[in-house]
Amino acid sequence: MALLQVDDLRVELQTSRGMVPAVRGVSFALEAGGTLGVVGESGCGKSITALALMGLLPDGARTSGRIGLDGDNLLDLDEDALCRIRGNRIAMIFQEPMTSLNPVHRIGRQIAEPLRLHRGLKGANARDEVLGLLDRVGLPDPARRIDAYPHQMSGGQRQRVMIAMALSCSPDILLADEPTTALDVTIQGQILDLINELVEDSGMGLILISHDLGVIGETADNVAVMYGGAMVEQGPTDRLFAHLAHPYSQGLFAAVPQPGEARDGPLRTIPGTVPELADLPPGCAFADRCARASDICWGQAPTMELVGPDRPRDRQRDHQAACHHLRAAAP
């Protein structure tokens, strides 16, 4: 049984133009100890999906579908029940620690908050636990840093604090939303190595959201490609990377500069822009940027199909894509 089972998740957000679909029929499963990488351009629904899992959607949002954890649908739980899960069973590393950490509280107090709420630790016991967490995430001189404010730390150190906070209650599921944004390459590598090491040691499930296909390729067991609020392709990382089936996935990978290629011309891009949520077509959201688009693409939304003939329908191993003109990849 999957640790987390998401089925037909849909999210609508309130905007000046009314309710708009931000997540459209997302389904996936996450196993204990497994890593799901989620990729796609900005505005495709990656972060909104993560916020839905955490129960942190904006006021006025509407949801449907199922987020299954231990037999419960998290979408049906009230705020008190979600508070017992959030930060305890499911934790999140947010994209920008400087805007996630409270600037007027010392980091020790902020890391200790989930320990107090979920484990009842206070005073010296909580402080000792925080020191252990800071040491675990590799923050230099924890005894001194525990009383620092966020602005007194570097970007990499603040991200380590966020990781310590997320790990404080030993969650079963960790969501990491662009955890290395705005960090230099060396620090990015250190943070990703740290997350991978902690996931392997604890056996938790990891959902890693990233624009960096190289990071996903090295980290994730399975990959989901999102566009226009929907998953357009998903499957085991090695198979999906080797046999890209959806035109959007192909465009994403083609836009990545390759080592040794000439740099005397413009970088490759996908023509057009990500559509506004309020302007999504009734059919395939990628139709106006796709060279293969035909009449059916504009009027009818494609459904997920297996890539490659005669493959067994194993939910965890199947490579699937949603395209009316899907070209079967070799199994």
Number of domains in the chain: 2
- Residue 293 CA to residue 288 CA, distance in Å, equals 7
Q: Name the residue with tokens 């490579």.
A: 319
CA terminus-to-terminus distance, the chain: 26
Q: Classify residue 1: in a domain, yes or no.
A: no
Mean pLDDT to the nearest integer, 187-207: 89
Q: Classify residue 146: in a domain, yes or no.
A: yes
The CA-CA-CA angle for residues 153, 41, 305, to 5°, reads 130
- Residue 37 CA to residue 238 CA, distance in Å, equals 12
Q: Classify residue 59: in a domain, yes or no.
A: no
Give the β-pairing of 35-39 and 222-227: parallel
> pTM for the complete prediction?
0.91
Q: Classify residue 231: in a domain, yes or no.
A: no
Residue that terminates a domain, selected from 169, 196, 229? 169
Whether the CB-CB separation of 37 and 211 falls below 8 Å is answered with no
310 has a pLDDT exceeding 70: no
- Residue 166 CA to residue 114 CA, distance in Å, equals 9
Mean pLDDT to the nearest integer, 120-143: 94
Confidence of residue 262 (pLDDT cuts 50, 70, 90): low
- Write down the pLDDT at residue 38: 97
- Write down the pLDDT at residue 329: 39
Q: Classify residue 209: in a domain, yes or no.
A: no
Q: Classify residue 269: in a domain, yes or no.
A: yes
- Residue 248 CA to residue 213 CA, distance in Å, equals 14
Q: Name the residue with tokens 């499957």.
A: 235
- Write down the pLDDT at residue 314: 47
- Write down the pLDDT at residue 260: 67
Count of beta carbons in the 10 Å neighbourhood of residue 260: 6
pLDDT tens, residue by residue, 152-167:
999 899 999 999 999 9
- Residue 302 CA to residue 283 CA, distance in Å, equals 7
SS (H, E, C) 25-76: EEEEEECCCCEEEEECCCCCCHHHHHHHHHCCCCCCCEEEEEEEECCEEHHH
Q: Classify residue 253: in a domain, yes or no.
A: yes
Run of H or E residues at 227: strand 222-227
Domain hosting residue 281, numbered range = 237-322
- Write down the pLDDT at residue 104: 96
Interior/surface letters 166-198, b for 16+ CB within 10 angstroms, e for the rest: bbbbebbbbbbbbbbbebeeebbebbbebbeeb
pLDDT tens, residue by residue, 14-59:
999 999 999 999 999 999 999 999 999 998 999 999 999 999 999 9
What one-letter code names the amino acid at 35? Answer: T
- Write down the pLDDT at residue 63: 97
Q: Which phi and psi (to 5°) does residue 252 adopt?
A: -60, -45
Residue that terminates a domain, selected from 113, 145, 169? 169
Residue that terminates a domain, selected from 169, 185, 210? 169
Q: Name the residue with tokens 């699937």.
A: 320
Query: 289-294: which pairs have CB atoms within 8 A and are 24 or more residues apart?
Result: 289/248, 289/251, 290/247, 290/248, 291/247, 292/247, 292/323, 292/325, 294/324, 294/325
- Which string of DSSP letters, residue by residue, matches 95-136? S-HHHHS-TTS-HHHHHHHHHHHHH---HHHHHHHHHHHHHH
The DSSP call for residue 151 is G
pLDDT tens, residue by residue, 223-249:
999 999 999 999 999 999 999 999 999
Mean pLDDT to the nearest integer, 91-111: 93
Q: Which residues contact 323 (CB under 8 A, 6 or more apart)?
A: 232, 245, 246, 247, 284, 292, 302, 305
Q: Classify residue 291: in a domain, yes or no.
A: yes
61 has a pLDDT exceeding 50: yes
pLDDT tens, residue by residue, 163-184:
999 999 999 999 999 988 777 8
